[in-house]
Amino acid sequence: MDAVWLALALIGAGAIAGFLAGLFGIGGGAVLVPVLYQFLTILQVDESVRMHISVATSLAIIVPTSLRSFMAHKRRGAVDLDLLRSWLIPLPLGVVVASLLAAYVSGAELKGIFAVLALVLGLRMLFDKRGAKIADDIPGFPIRPVCGALIGFFSTLMGIGGGVMNNTFMTLYGRPIHQAVATSSGTGVLISIPGTIGLIWAGWGSDYLPPFSLGFVNLLGVALIIPVTILMAPLGVRVAHATSRRKMELAFGAFLLVVSARFFASLAGF
């Protein structure tokens, strides 16, 4: 019976996350993690692993979507392959460090990290200045590898593919948004694959894991959520096309701030 309720909750989480991902035009991790967390709360999954499962399962779901997106963008020649090659070591290195950290931080600490990052990203969406940049091109060593490692590190702890962070990085250094979005599909591959493996290792043998878990990754969640998000995302896209991109950015920024506020409130005991 527990497995049945878990399956229904995962389908519900996937439906909501898929719709919102289509609505806001993002990969879904930043949406899926808080939605999945709420459903795991309803199912009374132990709080010590609830956030870890949400983050790890989100990363596992991103693997096939990021691979498919990357190959499509690559065929169009839109990806900055030189940047991705320079991040082949720094980006996964940041992921590995984050995975090691995830093995030791508590669920409350991981929730706090997500809340802070969601707050920063939400504010960035709300107050984004079009055309703002700090240089005309992406710098070399040591700024480039350090930024790659930081994107991998923080994206893994949030359970996202790094699109929002990479888009910000590339556009601040003078790259067009279309190239940034295309290249972000590649960062999703470099983050989600080692991140999934790392969080399987980090959660191996942990107590209180729900059925069908491999480390912190819930395999039932991966199997159920991927097709549901694919089904629901077009509905969100239809709604998104009825309004402007800026309004969508404002809505997504507001969503992240609400999630951040709810997480902070729960940490404070409210």
Average pLDDT of the chain to the nearest whole number: 85
Residue-number span of the structural domain to which 114 is assigned: 2-267
Provide the whole-model pTM. 0.86
How many alpha carbons lie under 13 Å from residue 30 in its C-beta half-sphere? 33
Say if residues 79 and 48 touch (Cβ distance below 8 Å). no
Q: How far apart are CA 41 and CA 45, in angstroms?
A: 6
**How many domains is the chain built from?**
1
Residue-wise pLDDT for 223-265, tens only, equals 888 888 777 777 776 776 677 767 777 877 888 898 899 899 9
pLDDT, tens only, 197-216:
999 999 999 999 988 899 99
Q: What is the CA radius of gyration of the chain?
A: 18
* Six token digits for residue 169: 């990085």
pLDDT beyond 80 at 41: yes
